[in-house]
A = this chain, B = another copy of it.
Amino acid sequence: MKEAISNVMLSDYGYLLYLALILFSTKLFGLLTKRIQLPQVVGALAAGLVLGPACFGLVTETDFIKCVSEIGVVVLMFTAGLETDIKEMKKTGLASLVIAILGVIVPLGAGWAISTIFNTEETAGMSSVLMQNIFIGVILTATSVSITVETLKEMGKLSSKSGNAIIGAAVIDDILGIIVLTVITSTAGSGGEGSGGGDILMTVIKIILFFVFAIIVALLFNFIFNKWSGRSKKDLRRYVIIAFVFCLIMSFSAEYFFGVADITGAFVAGLALSNGPRANYLNNRFGTLSYMLLSPVFFASIGLQVVLPEMSMSIILFSLLLLVGAILSKIVGCGLGAKLCRFSNKDSIRIGAGMVSRGEVALIVASKGAAVGLMKDEYFAPVVIVVVVTTIITPILLKFAYKSKNGEDESEIQTPAAETK
């Protein structure tokens, strides 16, 4: 009826079509990549590329798609938390720290080294060449763990020892990333932003406060929720809703009050409920919400954001080198960290592969750097290429890393079965 009223409103219903296109193509491409023995995530990412401005330009990213995809990654990390065995996590805690630290240092050095080859001349109005080159390294430090989580889930490896180490390291990586970024932008000082040491101290204090807050709230909520939801023997919808509310509030608080990523808050929320009597039930329901709406939109939206600008020969060369550096430095850095902590060779490679993907965080860091004179605009394209390729290649690397010697896929199905892709 609404439509008859005003022809101007015709395009108001575009999002219904967008959503249909996203759901259909992520599923179709996902099944195609599954056919050729690759994770479905690869197909979903490719679907976004095909639908977006990089290819056919059928779907544009709206506010609606942005919000749904962000809730998608929040729910993804929440369920990752739900599936995590806290005892196992504690065991791999130190290892995760070592992996994360080496996974920040090695890419930082690699990015700086590659950049020094190309970026040599001082430019007026910008930070020194040295700082610029270090900044390229900073961009390479940010791991985006969501793709890895989805891939490990699909292969049933999320709660393996290596899976635990990856998630722990990714969370710590995120924290280290904030500190490194704060340090470097506070040295930039253009636009009157940097107040040097004070900034860094504030950031570290906020991070510490977040963890104090998160641990207290998680323990409290864990106690109250488990007591409350244990009273009835039935599976009630209210448990799911309250768990969702908790997840959203933790995500929001992490970003808003502490400057920590929303997905870190969501992960902690999931951890808080992981040992409760309703963990399986919650996991099942959130799984349905994810696969029916949130995940397809999230994975497609990554591809939707890709726009490739024209590039000079020198920039293309730089992109290729940066890409190789980005992939190898994480595998080497994190793999070395894992090896130091007595993981097997195979597990070390798996952990390294799982940390390769960079996500939208790298893009946000890059734009922040460009704004304060730490990065030249022409380096945007290489960063975009690194993000896109590392994102698509990570599930493929993981697939091979988790294959056993005789070529058989080791995956054991861990999902409550009955429903498959």
Asked if A234 and B16 make an inter-chain contact with CB atoms under 8 angstroms apart, the answer reads no
The 9 closest A-B pairs by CB, nearest first: A20-B248, A64-B67, A16-B252, A4-B259, A3-B259, A63-B63, A3-B255, A5-B368, A24-B245
Q: Is A308 an interface residue (CB 8 A)?
A: no
Interface residues of A (CB under 8 A from B): 1-6, 10, 13-17, 19-20, 23-24, 27, 31, 62-64, 67-68, 70-71, 74, 142, 174, 177-178, 181-182, 203, 234-238, 240-242, 244-245, 248-249, 251-252, 254-256, 258-262, 285-286, 288-289, 291-293, 296, 361, 364-365, 368, 418-421
Sampled A-B contacts (27; CB under 8 Å): A1-B177, A1-B178, A1-B181, A2-B261, A2-B262, A3-B255, A3-B256, A3-B259, A3-B261, A5-B181, A5-B364, A10-B256, A13-B255, A15-B70, A16-B71, A16-B249, A16-B262, A19-B71, A20-B245, A20-B248, A23-B244, A235-B419, A236-B419, A237-B291, A237-B421, A240-B291, A241-B291
Complex formed: what's the CA distance from A236 to B415 in Å?
A: 13
Nearest Cβ on chain B to A92's Cβ, whole angstroms: 22
Q: State whether A251 touches B16 (Cβ < 8 A).
A: yes
Most buried by B among A1, A245, A420: A1
Instruction: Identify A289's interface contact among B177, B262, B293, CB under 8 A.
Output: B293
Nearest neighbor of A251 in chain B, beta-carbon distance: B16
Contact A420 B23 (CB under 8 A): no
Complex formed: what's the CA distance from A148 to B19 in Å? 27
- Give the complex CA separation of A107 and B28 in angstroms: 48
A interface SS class: helix
What is the minimal beta-carbon distance from A57 to any residue of chain B, in angstroms?
18
* Min distance, Cβ A260 to any Cβ of chain B, angstroms: 7
Inter-chain contact A17/B252, CB cutoff 8 Å: yes
Residue contact A252 to B292, C-beta cutoff 8 Å:
no
Q: State how many angstroms separate the Cβ of A30 from the closest Cβ of chain B.
A: 9
Closest residue of chain B to A294 (Cβ to Cβ) is B293
A182 to B13, CA, bound (A): 21
Contact (Cβ within 8 A) B1 A236: no
Instruction: Among A5, A23, A249, find the residue whose CB has the most chain B CB atoms closer than 10 A.
Output: A5
- Whether A418 and B235, one on each chain, are in contact in the complex, defined by CB atoms closer than 8 angstroms, is yes
A17 to B251, CA, bound (A): 9
Asked whether A203 lies within 8 Å of B236 as measured between CB atoms, the reply is: no
Q: How far is the CA of A67 from the CA of B16 in the complex (A)?
A: 9
Q: Which of A248, A251, A418 has the most CB of B within 10 A?
A: A248
Q: Which residues of B contact A418 (CB under 8 A)?
A: 234-235
Known contacts A1-B142, A5-B365, A20-B249; decide if A420 and B236 are in contact (CB<8 Å).
Answer: yes
Give chain B residues whose Cβ lies under 8 Å from the Cβ of A368.
Answer: 5-6
Q: How far is the CA of A31 from the CA of B291 in the complex (A)?
A: 28
Does A292 lie within 8 Å of B291, measured CB to CB? Answer: no
CB distance from A328 to the nearest CB of B (A): 23
Contact A27 B242 (CB under 8 A): yes
Docked Cα-Cα span, A236 to B70, in Å, equals 26
CB pair A361–B237 under 8 Å, yes or no, is no
Extra inter-chain contacts (4) besides given A16-B252, A20-B245, A235-B418, CB under 8 Å: A62-B67, A64-B68, A285-B292, A288-B288
Whether the Cβ atoms of B13 and A262 lie closer than 8 Å is: yes
